[in-house]
Each structure stands twice: as C-alpha cells, then as structure tokens.
Amino acid sequence: MRTKNLFGMLALLGLAGWMFAACSDDSAGTNNTNKVCNHNGQCDAGENTANCPDDCPKVQCSLTDGDNYNYIMNKIQIPLNGTEAKTIGVDLDGDGTIDNKLGQIMALVPKADDGTTVNDALQTSIDNGTIILLGRLIMNQWPSDDVMAAQIFPGDTTSGDATADDLSGTGCALVSSTADQSLKLCGMVANNSLRVGPDSIQIALSLSGVNMTISLDQAQAEGTVHEDSWSDVQVGGGITKENLNNELIPALVSWLNDATKKDPTGSVGKFVLDSLDANCSTSAEGCEDVTNGSGDCKAWDPQNPVGDPLTDKEIKCSSLFAAALKPDVDIDGDGTKDLLSLGIKVSAVKVTIGSGTCQ
Ligand SMILES: [Ca+2]
Ligand SMILES: [Ca+2]
Ligand SMILES: [Ca+2]
Ligand SMILES: [Ca+2]
C-alpha cells in the first residue's frame, strides 16, 4: 500500500508542472548550432518559443489584467506506460508528438500490493483531500481572450480548512502556504480552447511528508476550459539534468529507502532489494568505476539493517532507471537532448479560494 505514496509523489511532480515560474529566458534558439529555426520572421511548423524565439516570441501577460476564475482539480491522470505517454502531456519540442518520459518511469514502479493502479490511488487521494491542486485563469472575457494568464497552486491539506464538499463546484479551498503565487504561464483562450506557455515552472513534491520543489523548464498547457470547469487539460514540461541529479533522484531514493526500511517484503521493498540494491551497471553513464557489493553500490541486509538500502548512485547506475532518466527532448534544436519530459492530464471544477480561511 505504501506504493501509493510514490504514486502521489510522482503525481504531484507532474502536477506541479503547473506552478509556473515568472519567466525563463533561455534564448539558446538563437545560437548558430540551432537546426530548427530558420529566422524568417514567421513561426513555422517545428518552430516554437523554445527552439525559435526570434520567429515565435513569448507572449507576455499580467496577473492583474482580468478577473480571477478559480478551479480545483477533480481528476488527474498520469501515464502508466509508454503507450499512454503518447496521449498524455504536451509536445515540448514541436515535432508533432507528445513528450512524456514519466510513462516510462512509471512502468518501472511495481503495482501496489492490492493491485490498484497509480491513477486509482491518485483519484482516492483527490477525493479524500490528501491531494489538493488548485488552478486559476486570469481572463478579461469568455470564451476567448488573446492574452491571459494561467496558474496552478498546491492546495492547503494541513489546516483542514477546505470545505468537505470542495469538489462539488460550490466548495472552498485554500492555497498552500508554500506556494509561490507570482508564478504564471502566459497564453490565450480561443473559443474555450486554452493554450499557454512555455515557461519555467516549479513542481511541488510531497514525499513521505517532506515537501520539496523541483523545477520544470519549458512547461506548457492546453485543453478545454470554461468559466466553471476544465476538461482534459494537458500539462507538460521538462526536467534539466542538473535538477534531475539534485532534486528528483534524491527524492526518489529517499522515498524508496523509506518504503523499504518500513517493509522490506512489500512490493516496493522487494523491487528495491531485488532490482536496485547492489545492482549497479558499469555501462551506465558515469558508472564505469562502480563495484557491486562495495562503496556506493553496497548491499543492504534487511536482517541486519545498517544505513540506507539505496544511494543516488544505485539509481543512476541502475540498468532499469539509467535509460528512463535520460533526457529525451532537444528543446533548443541544437542536436543535443536537454530535458527529461513529464506530463499529466487534469480536469477541474469551480471553487472559491479562501483568503486565509474558508469561513
Ligand atoms: Ca520561421
Ligand atoms: Ca515532441
Ligand atoms: Ca545499496
Ligand atoms: Ca539541445
């Protein structure tokens, strides 16, 4: 059952794709190694704000230009395998196909002991208020606004101040005290069709009670939005190698260690001890000098537990994870893959976002 925590973590990770940082200024698309941008002053097929900012300039928007429309997510889907990953998320590099390596990572994680899927567990968490994700559109008019802003915030799940019926369409919820409410994604709504981004974002990640932030680059969102609902809004972005090494992998390792130490024979514990612990591959990048059974790849004994089952190195050098955690998107068109893509699909209903309290 603890697998649910990992599900929740990975889900929140996807979710956070939504807490958009103010501005990214990655102008790598203008450098002379770019193989996509033709600099003809028009945003052509295959060109986008990330790989061709000269031809496809970023839309600027304001959090105060328009009225606030507030939402709470009542459904969140993440891809559980590579096939689903082709239908959930966004096309980050403009090549016409959705980019979402999250599906490949999720396919590696064992199923919960009771057979429920990640998305089942996620839905339970949404329904019982363990996960609250809020959205906001700042719009001048409906159903179209050619310059608008979108935001997503983690909701407050600790004070218990949200109304019990917060998913009813007339409920109330609060923004988490850790949310950065200045973050936004700029774009447009045309006949209820939302298209915002790309921009840098931060992900709220909740891991065994520890909250942390992971940064996503070039995040975008698109889908159908109305004054009182969102349906099937796709959200996606990419993790840089640096953020992968400094944020995501340590978070994953810490969660896996926690689950394994609590229950070495549960589905996650078995997976860790059978497939990851002391199972380093010297063919993975940066792992040429590892030795199984010693140093960073030493074996952990549940009968005589000393320290942690896994190190960061055991994930990086795992033949399973090494491929799944490799960047898959060449965002700036220079021929080198820079970002590990993640995406989710969400639906939402109207909510009141209380200021300080829902009373
Ligand atoms: Ca062009
Ligand atoms: Ca793509
Ligand atoms: Ca180990
Ligand atoms: Ca690149």
Q: Is residue 122 part of a domain?
A: yes
Residue-level pLDDT at 30? 43
- CA–CA gap between residue 300 and residue 19 (Å, rounded): 38
Same-domain check for residues 190 and 261:
no
| Dist. CA 340 → ligand 2 center (Å) | 12
Q: How far is CA 241 from CA 161, 214, 327, in A?
A: 38, 12, 7
Residues lining ligand 4 (ion), CB within 5 A?
A: 330, 332, 334, 336, 338
User: Which numbered ligand comes closest to the C-alpha of 89?
Assistant: 2
Q: Do 283 and 236 have their domain in common? A: no
Q: Indicate whether 164 and 129 sit together in one domain.
A: yes
For residue 71, what are the β-bridge partners?
A: 135, 350
Q: Answer yes or no: do 55 and 36 share one domain.
A: yes
How many angstroms is it from 51 CA to the middle of ligand 1? Answer: 10
Q: How many domains does the chain have?
A: 2
Ligand 2 centroid to 236 CA: how many Å?
11
The ligand with the least distance to the CA atom of 37 is 1
What is the rounded distance in angstroms from the CA atom of residue 256 to the CA atom of residue 258?
5
14 CA from centroid of ligand 1 (Å): 31
Are 183 and 270 within one domain? no
Ligand at shortest distance from the CA of 314: 3
Examine residue 358 and state whether it is found in any structural domain, yes or no. Answer: no
- Residue 281 and residue 233 share a domain: no
* Domain shared by 301 and 187, yes or no: no
CA of 233 to the centre of ligand 2 (A): 17
Euclidean distance between CA atoms 135 and 307, whole angstroms: 41
306 lies in a domain? Answer: yes
Whole-number Å distance, alpha carbon 358 to ligand 2 midpoint, is 41
| Ligand nearest, relative to CA of residue 276 | 3
- Nearest ligand to the CA atom of 241: 4
Same domain, 221 and 155: yes
* Omega before residue 53 within 30° of 0, cis: no
> Are residue 18 and residue 67 in the same domain, yes or no?
yes
- The rounded distance, in Å, linking the Cα atoms of 139 and 151 is 12
> How far is residue 231 CA from its own chain's centroid?
18
Q: Which ligand has the shortest distance to the CA of 341? A: 2
Distance 103 CA to ligand 3 centre (A): 26
Specify the pLDDT at position 119. Answer: 81
How many Å lie between the centroid of ligand 2 and the Cα of residue 263?
Answer: 39
Q: How far apart are CA 224 and CA 190, in angstroms?
A: 10
pLDDT in tens, the chain (359 residues): 333 344 444 444 444 433 333 333 344 444 445 678 899 999 988 888 888 889 998 889 999 999 999 999 999 888 888 899 999 999 998 888 999 998 888 788 777 667 777 788 778 888 888 888 899 999 999 999 999 999 988 888 888 788 888 999 999 999 988 888 888 999 999 999 999 999 877 655 444 444 455 677 889 999 999 999 999 999 999 999 888 898 888 888 988 898 899 999 998 899 999 999 999 999 998 999 999 999 999 999 999 999 999 999 999 999 988 888 999 999 888 899 999 998 889 999 999 999 889 87
pLDDT of residue 355: 87
The C-alpha atoms of residue 128 and residue 131 are separated, in whole angstroms, by: 8
Whether residues 209 and 258 share a domain: the answer is no
Model confidence, pTM: 0.80
The answer to whether residue 286 is domain-embedded is yes
Same domain, 135 and 46: yes
Compute the Cα dihedral for 43, 38, 222, 354 and give only its sign. negative
Boundaries of domain holding 104: 3-240+342-353
Query: In whole angstroms, how far apart are CA 57 and each of 41, 51, 99, 131, 181?
Result: 10, 10, 22, 35, 24
Same-domain pairing of 204 and 98:
yes
- Ligand with an atom nearest the CA of residue 220: 2
Residue 189 belongs to some domain of the structure: yes
In a domain, 302, yes or no: yes
- Give me the residues paired with residue 340 across strands: 239
Q: Between the CA of residue 343 and those of 77, 210, 237, 293, 305, what are the distances in Å? A: 9, 22, 7, 36, 37
* Type of residue numbered 329: V
Asked, for residue 331, whether it belongs to a domain, the answer is no
pLDDT at 66: 97
339 Cα–ligand 4 center, Å: 8
Which candidate, 17, 341, 14, 19, places its Cα nearest to that of 149?
19
